[in-house]
């Protein structure tokens, strides 16, 4: 398992690659941004704080997470 420093890993992601859901609106309240520009890793950060720590997932972890959300495993 690869580990990353969440405070510095953001530098490895292309600035233009950060995306947020359209439901967030222009101010990004309570939303996260996702960067899938890299084939090796996916970054997730606070949409209001672009310099915030970045959570990193590899492609398999991200696919599992997305499938879990879609299947309702986290409630809501």
**pLDDT (tens digit, 9 = 90+) per residue, 19-76?**
988 888 766 568 899 999 888 899 999 988 888 899 999 999 999 999 999 999 987 6
pLDDT value at residue 55: 92
Can you list the positions of beta strands (E) in the chain?
A: 18-19, 32-35, 42-46, 55-57
**Contact criterion met (CB below 8 Å) for 16 and 22:** no
The residues, ordered by sequence, that sit 6+ positions from 57 with a Cβ below 8 Å of its Cβ are: 41, 42, 44, 65
What is the C-alpha separation between 33 and 43, in angstroms, rounded? 8
Q: What is the dihedral of CA 13, 10, 22, 39, to 10 degrees?
A: 40
């Amino acid at each position: 398992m690869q580990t990353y420093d969440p405070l510095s890993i953001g530098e490895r992601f292309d600035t233009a690659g950060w995306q947020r859901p359209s439901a967030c609106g222009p101010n990004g309240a309570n939303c996260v941004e996702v960067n899938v520009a890299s084939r090796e890793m996916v970054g997730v950060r606070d949409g209001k704080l672009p310099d915030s720590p970045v959570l990193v997932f590899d492609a398999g972890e991200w696919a599992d997470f997305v499938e879990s959300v879609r299947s309702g495993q986290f409630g809501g």
